[in-house]
Amino acid sequence: MKIVRFILLIAHVGILMLLSAMLLNDYISPKTFSWLNLLSLGFPILMVAYIMLTMMWIVLWKKRAIVFLLFGLLFFNATIRWVNYTPVNKKTPDVKIMSFNIKAGKYGQDEIQQYISRCNPDIVLLQECSDVSYFKGFPEKKANAVVSILSKYKIISQKELIENEIGNGDSENAYATQNDIEIKGNIYRIINVHLQSYYFEKENLKLNGNEQEDKLKVKNVLGRLLSTFKIHQEQVELIRKAAEKSPYPVIVAGDFNAVPNSYEYYHIAGYLKDAFVEAGRGSGTSFHDYKFPIRIDYIFTSKNIEAVTYHVDRSVNLSDHDPVLATFRLNAKNSQN
């Protein structure tokens, strides 16, 4: 029994070290050491294992449980980026925003249009969408190669931030636009984002028991992940610079193809607020094409924009992503802070 406990203790310490290393994504870029970003993908599993082992030490009345509980506090913020329970905000919002990767409407354009009409958002940021002709009820529409925007408010100007030519030339589906929109007398800069995809085929993620084939699959998956992390670094730097230089309050939303606690997340959330952390309830996971759901769709805002509600709608099956809806109070003048 002592041997088993010792092995479990070693495993617990190992998990603690991995979780601690993951936090370094806030400081170390993928181009410096891209392997750290892999740890952010495994955070839910690592955290669940850490909690279960800590509970075991508590049940066994081991003093080490106190140590692991105290260290566990280090990962509180990392956890609420995945699962959060904020108090209900009863304030009246000023604007409702939806971010939705619609996978080019392959699940049904009419159904997507009807769903968006029922939700009645003021502004819709669409990813993997280049055709907005079938959307109704929005006087302002702008379509680009990968991202599009629908708005009930006037779009004063639009600028491309990422146009399929970042990094090593593989970013053919990466795109971002900067949209200045006048809302109730003030101008807001809204950035619609679709970061580089990984282009995984499901078959390549399944191991078949053939040692050579499985090794090759793992090597290819790791290579794709690590190289894409580096491309993401360049892309999020452009997005953050656009937010920092904005003379107006900023909302950044879209499909980041990056999970919480990744370098991509830290680089944006270090300057802007995560609306899910501020107003989310329950799980923030938004991509369900694989058996393991993950959170890769976000809405970030300037400090002076207050999130009232945040909801990932899993009641519909209109894409491999779930739509994200959030409401905000616009307390700001035309400045970021």
Q: Domain locations in the chain?
A: 2-80, 86-330
DSSP assignment string, 153-210: SEEEEEEEEEES--TTTT-TT-EEEEEEEEETTEEEEEEEEEPPP----GGGG---S-
Give the pLDDT score at 60: 85
Compute the half-sphere exposure of residue 229: CA atoms within 13 Å on the CB side of its CA: 25
> In the structure encoding, which two tokens stand for residue 241, read together?
């610079």
CA angle 258, 275, 302 (to 5 degrees): 100
> In the structure encoding, which two tokens stand for residue 117, read together?
């009409």
Measured CA to CA, the distance from residue 51 to residue 76 in angstroms comes to: 12
First and final CA of the chain: distance in angstroms?
58
Give the pLDDT score at 62: 82
Give the pLDDT score at 1: 72
Low-confidence ranges of the chain (pLDDT < 50): 165-171
220-226: Cβ within 8 A, 24+ apart: 222/38, 224/198, 224/199, 224/200, 225/37, 225/38, 225/41, 225/198, 226/30, 226/34, 226/35, 226/37, 226/38
Give the pLDDT score at 334: 52
Give the pLDDT score at 205: 62
Contact 105, 112 (CB under 8 A): yes
Give the pLDDT score at 203: 62
Domain 86-330: which CATH number of 3.30.565.10, 2.40.10.10, 3.40.1580.10, 3.60.10.10:
3.60.10.10
- Work out the number of other CB atoms within 10 angstroms of the CB of residue 312: 21
pTM equals 0.92
- Work out the number of other CB atoms within 10 angstroms of the CB of residue 50: 20
Give the pLDDT score at 310: 98
Contact 251, 305 (CB under 8 A): yes
Give the pLDDT score at 166: 42
Per residue in 22-75, pLDDT tens?
A: 999 999 999 999 999 999 999 999 999 999 999 999 998 888 899 999 999 999
Measured CA to CA, the distance from residue 180 to residue 186 in angstroms comes to: 10
Measured CA to CA, the distance from residue 182 to residue 247 in angstroms comes to: 13
Measured CA to CA, the distance from residue 192 to residue 242 in angstroms comes to: 12
Measured CA to CA, the distance from residue 198 to residue 159 in angstroms comes to: 25
